[in-house]
């Protein structure tokens, strides 16, 4: 195990708000995104989506489309070799079922791939879609989880996963989990109170500003280049090689700037399509999803139903907790097992007790596909658990803050579930080595005015406060890893090449800060190249809150190795002990009279010592230390209309040492604004036939600036021994707590418990009526 | 993407209508374009009406307020002539539309001619007895706004141009208030209610209750109005207001959609009507009680 404590070199490049490395080019609108640069001779692709939620594709007649001038090619399932795989961008061997082929012979959701058209212009490609004649055999659509579970006569997947990790061919179950610590059923019998409630979570979409977009072409050596808006370039290269039967050596995946991903791009949503069409036509091909396609055919957060059963004693001691999850993975099983695993694994340890039971049944249906989305299952679990804690407190007649304080996880505690439950296999045991949770609760309570609730701002409104606690992870323990290469140039600047994937969250910036810190140079001297599978070393990609913690470790190690090389070069020139060489402020020295600038040392290395100072290092952590959050909502509710007005939202977050405090706060506030939509109005509404009723931003509401409350964001730094400079993660944990905090505040205001989000005015109004009856 | 075949820029009201009538094929007027670009219609040409002198807002010598059809929602939200008219009812309605960038180009004419049941300016204008001025190639006519809408996305226009809206000097002194319910701050309204009362000493003179998003077209709840109109204020106790509100709820014809149920919409017409009547009678002209989330005019 690597402990990074005290690895600080000279200067202070970490812990300060440097200018984000790509800020100026983004602000100036430079052509930095995938779709900003079109190769000559590029073709435009469009997907013919299925009009049926479940139908066999018997025949496709593309002759009319191909006759349209400008149409170059049409592909469908008969022409494409069916190699089973998963589109989930996860480490090999993926824990998601191999239930997908490039072009399926059966459409499993409305919008599923039926045919691909490429044409000289987008308009021609769109027109050609209407000229493709398809013969379908329409099958019964399973759009209800319980019906999908009950039926074995209609199967979404008739072919079993070759690795046997789902029940395809036998049932509609895509994943099951049943893990127990202690004996919950027995323990519940000994409890003073048993509280059971059911919670429902909606299907929501990440709604990144830049949609999925990919462009591929063959380079002058005939190698396939895919330039794409992705979180997982290296996984993509591996999956593409397998399903297109190419060598990894002949594929280059390039990630330019990305306009947001939130997990929705931890998935091969379209890169196989452009690659396939480039291989068929030998021409560059470009595909971009419309917003409607994003809402029907990209990935959503898994809808879930969660039954929580908690046994407590009169004094508030939690004795047993059971979480039973039924989830809808939609048409394919991307992340089916692991997202649902997180629902319990990242949530239940908040209140460690001797008896914990976690059960999951995740079902295939003919609904839109679920997948990875920031929080990765934890927002669902956190909503259920943190709503439930308030319900337990009510049953006990105990203060909800006190109940939490009495039971929450503490420094030195062992996470009771982690050893039982890893990424689709046995996990590694986890002991809490850093936590700022107590401080976060205290500071958060103070900022929201927990003990001095303000009066309503108008006589017809009711005011309420709510809170929620959350924890997450920092990468996947024992699985996630990344590598970094550093190289010194004669002007004292450094090239840092990382596989880590900056998707707007700012990882290039914090990794440059870490690199500069280790080498004692200023941040401005670092040039970062990230995520080009030809030019940068490997990294699993941007997900699981791993980049700063895991990839940052690789950067620190590589920089340290190069620093050691430089100390050697310096020591030889000046005849001093290498161990006494000091780096800092762009200078290298050994005592007061032996000193040179980094540029002088670099020039010396390259032209006198004739060696290239450079190093590559890899880093993996067997730990995944949880960041913690205490989040608080202050709402007003209009009991007659059901409207909820979020007045103030407080997040106090322990993400270890913030490398760039401003961006850490940005992660928190971005997560909160996304979660406000989850709490109050976001829902992809699918009818019984499997049709999305609101596939546009007119009807599918995400939060805008006008929906933002007064936001208070507090960083609670801690020193995590396993993280470089003491870092943990910040990207996901703050998206977990807002929904339960807001709903708990609504309940505090009007006495109505919403077990289902989003808490739309109508739902709140109905719940108030029901509570009053 | 909306691929325009021909873009005609009119220099006068008469020319605009002539350009529209000229053909060949189908044409549409374009003002701010904020509605048109959401759902681009199939058409052969568009006629730009932003340069025909219809963006003026003015008071006539006898005190009527005239708002040109091409006046932007931002101008309407901020123009002192409108903010000072009937408690600022119309400017508040404009201020609650979309967001600032949209309001900068969106026009009142586009809002009304698009003729959505949820058009945000309609209830406020209906509550103040707005009159529309409509131009043909060489004639003009005026008619009450109630008669302008003929169905969802349908109006009486038939190729003619809406020139502007007039509000009588008298209605400028009415007390008024309005509310709209939405899911998020920038959303199509679930329910809109606007109430305007002429207070004549101890009596209510004219009473107007206008509803939006709860019928195929923006509408007035005339049966409910009748219960209030001409009444002694002293007689308008909470029970009477509740009766009027219940009647208004009965008059609307809401539908179920994925945003809200008909039941909820109808109930909310009752709740909002009752509250707005009470607050207007009490002298308040607050257009959005307790909802600072709705965004201001600035
Ligand atoms: C992000 C966003 C948010 C929005 N939010 C709201 C909202 O909260 N509330 C709301 O009510 N609306 C909202 N809208 C809709 C729209 O902005 C308004 O309805 C606006 O007032 C339309 O005006 P316009 O000038 O842009 O119309 P245009 O798009 O130019 O025209 C709309 C229609 O009216 C016709 N037309 C325009 N002017 C005339 C005329 N003088 N005579 C005859 N026909 C004419 C056009 O041919 C077209 O059919 C929103 C739109 C967007 C894009």
Chain segment A554-597, per-residue pLDDT in tens: 999 999 999 999 999 999 999 999 999 999 999 999 999 999 99
- Residue A647: name the closest of A448, A480, A512, A483 by CA: A448
Tens of pLDDT, residues A330-385: 999 999 999 999 999 999 999 999 999 999 999 999 999 999 999 999 999 999 99
User: How far apart, in whole angstroms, are the C-alpha atoms of residue A274 and residue A555?
Assistant: 33
pLDDT score at A765: 98
Cα–Cα–Cα angle for A342, A343, A348, rounded to 5 degrees = 100
Residue position matching structure tokens 């469009």: A46
CB contacts of A461 in chain B (<8 Å) are: 290
Length of chain B: 298
In the predicted structure, residue B123 carries a pLDDT above the cut 60: yes
Contacts with B1 from chain A: Cβ below 8 Å: 122
Q: HSE on the CB side for B32, CA within 13 Å? A: 25
Query: Could you give phi then psi for residue A678, rounded to 5 degrees?
Result: -60, -40
Ligand 1 atom with minimal separation from the B120 CA = 11
- Average pLDDT rounded to a whole number, residues A432-461: 96
Q: What percent of chain A has pLDDT over 70?
A: 98
DSSP bridge pairs for B161: B135
CA of B19 to the centre of ligand 1 (A): 21
Between CA A408 and CA A470 the distance in angstroms is 10
Residue with tokens 């490997």: A538
pLDDT digits 0-9 by tens, A529-557: 999 999 999 999 999 889 999 999 999 99
- Cα dihedral A571, A575, A580, A583 sign: negative
Q: Buried (b) or exposed (e) across B178-213, using 16+ Cβ within 10 A?
A: bbbbbbbbbbbbbbbbbbbbbbeeeebebbbbbbbb
The CA-atom distances, in angstroms, between B222 and each of B216, B219, B236, B238, B250 are: 16, 9, 17, 19, 11
In this predicted structure, what is the pLDDT of residue A423? 64
For residue A193, pLDDT over 50 is answered with: yes
Q: How many Å apart are CA A755 and CA A307, to the nearest integer?
A: 10
CB of B115 sitting under 6 A from ligand 1? no
pLDDT, chain B, mean:
93
CA B106–ligand 1 middle distance (angstroms)? 6
For ligand 1, what atom is nearest to the CA of residue B186? 8
Average pLDDT, chain A: 96
SS3 state of residue A675: helix
| pLDDT at residue B283, rounded to an integer | 84
Q: What is the band of B102 on the pLDDT scale with cuts at 50, 70, 90?
A: very high
What pLDDT does A6 receive? 46
Q: Could you say which DSSP state residue A455 is in?
A: P
Question: Pairing relation of β-strands B161-167 and B45-48?
Answer: unpaired
Nearest Cα neighbor of A236 from A251, A217, A221 is A251
Q: Which of B194, B264, B254, B201 is nearest to B224 (CA)?
A: B194
Q: Is the CB of B161 under 6 A from ligand 1?
A: yes
DSSP state of A551: I
Q: What phi and psi, each to the nearest 5 degrees, are found at residue A645?
A: -115, 110
What value does the mean pLDDT take over residues A68-81?
Answer: 98
Per-residue confidence (pLDDT) for residue A40, from 0 to 100: 97
Please say whether the beta carbons of A275 and A244 come within 8 A: yes
In the block, residue with structure tokens 């939202």: A649
**Number of neighbours of residue B8 by Cβ within 10 angstroms:** 18
Q: How many interface pairs between A and B have CB atoms less than 8 angstroms apart?
A: 74
| Reported confidence tier of residue A10, pLDDT bands at 50, 70, 90 | low
Query: Nearest-5° angle of CA B249, CA B252, CA B258?
Result: 100
The mean pLDDT value for A662-675 works out to 97
- How many whole angstroms separate alpha carbon A627 and alpha carbon A673? 19
CA distance A183 to B21: 81
In Å, how far is B291's CA from the nearest CA of chain A?
7
Nearest to A15 by CA among A721, A527, A715: A715
Residue A415 · residue A394 · CB < 8 Å: no
Instruction: Convert A201-235 to b/e letters by CB count within 10 Å (16 or more is b).
Output: bbbbbbbbebbbbbbbbbeeeeebbbbbbbbbbbb
- Choose the mutation target among B95, B101, B186, B190 for the interface with A, i.e. most A CBs under 10 Å: B186
Q: What is the pLDDT of residues A457-485, one digit of tens each?
A: 999 999 999 999 999 999 999 899 999 99
Residue B285 — pLDDT band, cuts 50, 70, 90? Answer: low
Segment B122-149 mean pLDDT: 97
Cβ-based contacts of B238 with chain A (< 8 Å): none
Residues of B with CB under 8 A from a CB of A: 1, 3, 38, 99, 181, 183-188, 190, 258-261, 264, 267-268, 271-272, 275, 289-295
The percentage of residues in chain A with a pLDDT greater than 90, rounded to a whole number, is 95
Query: CA A49, CA A273: separation in Å to the nearest integer?
Result: 13
C-beta separation of B298 from A706 below 8 A: no
H/E element holding A445? helix A437-448
The pLDDT of A700-714, averaged and rounded, is 96
Rounded-to-integer distance, Cα B259 and Cα A43, Å: 39
Contact B290 A458 (CB under 8 A): yes
Ligand 1 proximity of B164 Cβ (cutoff 6 Å): no
Q: Is A745 within 8 Å of A634 (Cβ atoms)?
A: yes
Domains located in chain A, CATH noted: 5-32+481-620 (3.30.365.10), 35-139+211-258+265-297 (3.90.1170.50), 304-474+624-772 (3.30.365.10)
pLDDT tens profile A503-535: 999 999 999 999 999 999 999 999 999 999 999
Tell me if B50 CB under 6 Å of ligand 1. no
The gap from C-alpha A435 to its chain's centroid, in whole angstroms, comes to: 22
Residue B31 CA to residue B53 CA, distance in Å, equals 12
A595-607: average pLDDT: 98
pLDDT at A7: 45
Mutate to test the interface with B, among A202, A648, A673, A706 (most CBs of B within 10 A): A706
- C-beta B204 within 6 A of ligand 1: no
Statement: residue B106 has pLDDT above 50: yes
Q: Do B184 and A693 touch (CB under 8 A)?
A: no
Which two structure tokens, joined as six digits, stand for A242? 């397998």
Residue numbers in B near A693 (CB within 8 A): 258
Closest CA to A515 of A615, A587, A658: A615
Q: Out of B21, B91, B101, B110, give the residue to mutate to test ligand 1, the one with the largest number of ligand atoms within 8 Å of its CB.
A: B110
For A521-537, b/e burial (b = at least 16 CB within 10 A) is bbbebbebebbbbeebb
Q: Which of B185, B259, B290 sits opposite A706 (nearest CB)?
A: B185
Residue A679: band (very low, low, confident or very high) from pLDDT cuts 50, 70, 90: very high
Q: Is B31 in the pocket of ligand 1 (CB under 6 A)?
A: yes
What average pLDDT does this structure show over A234-259?
A: 98
Interface contact flag, A706 B293, Cβ < 8 Å? yes
Torsion of CA A237, A241, A247, A251, to 10 degrees: -40
Cα-based distances in Å from A286 to A253, A290, B239: 14, 13, 65
- Residues with Cβ within 8 Å of B61's Cβ and at least 6 positions away in sequence, in order, are none
Q: Where are the beta strands (DSSP E) in A625-720?
A: 628-637, 644-654, 710-715
> Is residue A387 pLDDT above 50, yes or no?
yes
CA distance A105 to A306: 34
SS (H, E, C) B74-115: HHHHHCHHHHCCHHHHHHHHHHCCCCHHHHHHCEHHHHHHCC
Cβ-in-10-Å burial (0-12, 13-18, 19+) of A584 comes to: middle
Above 50 in pLDDT, residue B273? yes
- Inter-chain CB proximity A706 and B289 less than 8 Å: no
Closest CB from B261, B271, B290 relative to A636 = B290
Q: Above 60 in pLDDT, residue B44?
A: yes
**How many residues are there in chain A?**
773
Establish whether residue B72 lines the binding site of ligand 1, counting it when its CB lies within 6 angstroms of any ligand atom: no
- A574 within 8 A of A590, measured Cβ to Cβ: yes
CA nearest neighbour of A541 among A4, A3, A88: A88
Q: Please identify which residue in the block is written with the tokens 């609101």.
A: A694
- Give the pLDDT band (50/70/90) at residue B38: confident
pLDDT at B289 over 80: no
Give the H/E segment covering residue A194. strand A193-201
User: Could you tell me the two tokens for A441?
Assistant: 């609760």
Tokens found for residue A536: 């940068």
Q: Judge whether residue B295 has pLDDT over 60.
A: no
| Ligand 1 atom index nearest CA of B103 | 17
What number is the average pLDDT over the span A95-118? 98
CB contact under 8 A, B181 and A461: no
Chain A: closest CA distance from residue B289 (Å) = 8
Q: Are A251 and A243 in contact (CB under 8 A)?
A: no
Task: Name A637's bridge partners.
Answer: A462, A644
Residue A24 φ then ψ, to 5°: -70, -45
What number of other Cβ atoms are within 10 A of residue A674's Cβ? Answer: 23
- pLDDT above 80 (res B290): no
List the single residue in B186, B290, B292 with the smallest CB-CB distance to A704: B186
Interchain contact, B183 vs A681, CB within 8 Å: yes
Q: What share of chain A is helix, strand, coil (3-state, %, to 5)?
A: 30, 25, 45
Residue of A nearest to B294 (CA): A706
The predicted structure's pLDDT at residue A283: 98
SS3 at position A212: coil
For residue A277, give every residue at least 6 positions away whose Cβ sits within 8 Å of its Cβ, in sequence order, or none: A43, A45, A73, A75, A116, A118, A216, A285
Ligand 1: residue whose CA is nearest its atom 50:
B98
Ligand 1 centre and the CA of A78: distance in Å? 47
Is B184 close to ligand 1, i.e. is its CB under 6 Å away? no
Residue by residue, DSSP assigns A137-161 as EE-----SHHHHHH-SSS-S--SPP
């Amino acid at each position: 195990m690597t402990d990074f404590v005290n690895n600080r070199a000279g200067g202070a490049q970490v812990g300060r708000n440097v200018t984000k490395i790509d800020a100026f080019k983004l602000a100036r609108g430079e052509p930095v995104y995938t779709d900003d640069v079109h190769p000559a001779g590029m073709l435009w692709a469009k997907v013919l989506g299925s009009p049926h939620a479940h139908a066999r594709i018997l025949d496709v007649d593309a002759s009319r489309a191909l006759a349209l001038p400008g149409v170059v090619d049409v592909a469908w399932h008969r022409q494409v070799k069916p190699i089973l795989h998963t589109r989930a961008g996860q480490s090999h061997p993926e824990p998601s079922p191999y239930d997908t082929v490039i072009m399926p012979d059966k459409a499993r959701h409305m919008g599923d791939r039926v045919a691909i058209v490429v044409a000289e212009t987008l308009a021609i490609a769109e027109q050609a879609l209407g000229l493709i004649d398809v013969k379908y055999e329409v099958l019964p659509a399973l759009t209800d989880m319980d019906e999908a579970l009950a039926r074995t006569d209609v199967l979404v997947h008739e072919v079993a996963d070759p690795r046997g990790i789902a029940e395809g061919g036998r049932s509609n179950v895509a994943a099951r989990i049943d893990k127990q610590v202690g004996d919950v059923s027995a323990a519940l019998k000994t409890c003073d109170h048993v509280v059971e409630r059911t919670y429902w979570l909606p299907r929501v979409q990440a709604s990144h500003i830049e949609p999925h977009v990919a462009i591929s072409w063959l380079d002058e050596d005939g190698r396939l280049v895919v330039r794409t808006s992705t979180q997982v370039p290296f996984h993509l290269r591996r999956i593409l090689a397998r399903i297109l039967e190419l060598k990894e050596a002949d594929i280059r995946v390039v990630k330019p700037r990305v306009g947001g991903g939130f997990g929705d791009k931890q998935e091969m949503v379209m890169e196989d399509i452009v690659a396939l069409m480039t291989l068929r036509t030998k021409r560059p091909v470009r595909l971009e999803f419309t917003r409607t396609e994003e809402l029907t055919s990209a990935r959503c957060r898994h809808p879930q139903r969660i039954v929580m059963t908690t046994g407590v004693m009169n004094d508030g001691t939690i004795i047993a907790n059971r979480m039973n999850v039924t989830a809808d993975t939609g048409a394919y099983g991307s992340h089916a097992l692991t997202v649902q695993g997180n629902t319990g694994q990242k949530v239940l340890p908040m209140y460690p007790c001797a008896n914990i039971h976690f059960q999951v049944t995740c079902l295939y249906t003919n609904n839109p596909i679920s997948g990875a989305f920031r929080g990765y299952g934890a927002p669902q679990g956190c909503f259920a658990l943190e709503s439930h804690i308030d319900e337990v407190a009510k049953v006990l007649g105990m203060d909800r803050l006190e109940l939490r304080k009495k039971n929450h996880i503490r420094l030195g505690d062992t996470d009771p579930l982690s050893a039982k439950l890893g990424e689709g296999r046995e996990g590694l045991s986890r002991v809490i080595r850093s936590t700022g949770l107590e401080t976060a609760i205290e500071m958060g309570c103070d900022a929201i005015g927990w003990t001095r609730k303000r009066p309503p701002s108008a006589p017809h409104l009711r005011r309420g406060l709510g809170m929620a606690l959350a924890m997450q992870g920092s990468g996947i323990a024992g699985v996630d890893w990344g590598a970094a290469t550093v190289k010194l140039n004669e002007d004292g600047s450094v090239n840092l090449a990382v596989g880590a994937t900056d998707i707007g969250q700012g990882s290039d910036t914090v990794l440059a800060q870490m690199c500069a810190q280790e080498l004692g140079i200023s941040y401005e001297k670092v040039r970062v190249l990230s995520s080009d599978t030809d030019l940068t070393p490997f990294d699993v990609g941007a997900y699981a809150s791993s980049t700063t913690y895991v990839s940052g470790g690789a950067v620190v190690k590589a920089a340290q190795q190069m620093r050691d090389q430089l100390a050697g070069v310096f020591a030889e020139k000046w005849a001093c002990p290498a161990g006494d060489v000091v780096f800092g402020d762009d200078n290298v020295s050994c005592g007061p009279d032996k000193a040179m600038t980094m540029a002088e040392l670099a020039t010396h290395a390259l032209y006198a010592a004739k060696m290239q100072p450079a190093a590559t290092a890899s880093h993996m952590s067997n730990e995944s230390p949880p960041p913690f959050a205490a989040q608080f909502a202050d709402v007003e509710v209009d009991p007659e209309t059901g409207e909820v007005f979020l007045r103030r939202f407080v997040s106090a977050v322990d993400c270890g040492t913030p490398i760039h405090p401003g961006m850490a706060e940005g992660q928190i506030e971005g997560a909160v604004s996304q979660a406000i939509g989850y709490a109050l109005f976001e829902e992809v509404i699918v009818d019984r036939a499997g049709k999305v009723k609101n596939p546009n931003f007119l009807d599918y509401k995400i939060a805008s600036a006008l929906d933002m409350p007064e936001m208070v964001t507090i960083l609670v730094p801690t020193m995590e021994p396993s993280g470089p400079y003491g870092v943990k993660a910040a990207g996901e944990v703050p998206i977990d707590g807002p929904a339960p905090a807001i709903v708990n505040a609504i309940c505090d205001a009007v006495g109505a418990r919403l077990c289902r989000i989003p808490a739309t005015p109508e739902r709140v109004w109905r719940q108030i009526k029901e509570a009053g009856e | 993407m909306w691929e325009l075949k021909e873009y005609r820029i009119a220099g006068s009201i008469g020319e605009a209508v002539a350009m529209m009538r000229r053909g060949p094929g189908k044409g549409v007027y374009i003002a701010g374009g904020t509605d048109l670009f959401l759902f681009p219609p199939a058409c052969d040409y568009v006629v730009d009406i932003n340069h025909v002198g219809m963006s003026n807002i003015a008071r006539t010598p006898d005190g009527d307020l005239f708002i040109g059809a091409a006046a932007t929602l931002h101008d309407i939200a901020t123009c002192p002539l409108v903010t000072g008219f009937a408690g600022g009812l119309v400017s508040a309605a404009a201020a609650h539309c979309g967001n600032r960038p949209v309001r900068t180009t969106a026009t009142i004419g586009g809002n009304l001619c698009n003729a959505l049941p949820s058009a945000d300016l309609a209830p406020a204008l209906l509550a103040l007895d707005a009159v529309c001025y409509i131009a043909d190639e060489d004639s003009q006519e005026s008619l009450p706004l109630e008669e302008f809408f003929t169905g969802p996305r349908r109006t009486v226009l038939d190729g003619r141009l809406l020139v502007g809206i007039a509000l009588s000097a008298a209605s400028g002194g009415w007390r008024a208030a309005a509310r709209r319910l939405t899911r998020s701050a920038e959303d199509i309204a679930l329910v809109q209610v606007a109430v305007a009362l002429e207070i004549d000493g101890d009596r209510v003179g004219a009473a107007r209750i206008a509803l939006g998003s709860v019928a195929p077209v923006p509408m007035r709840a005339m049966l409910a109005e009748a219960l209030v109109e001409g009444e002694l204020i002293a007689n308008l106790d909470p029970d009477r207001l509740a009766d009027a509100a219940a009647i208004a709820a009965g008059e609307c014809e809401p539908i179920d959609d994925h945003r809200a149920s008909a039941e909820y919409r109808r109930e909310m017409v009752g709740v909002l009507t009752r509250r707005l009547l009470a607050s207007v009678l009490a002298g308040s002209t607050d257009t959005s009680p307790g909802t600072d989330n709705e965004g201001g005019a600035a």
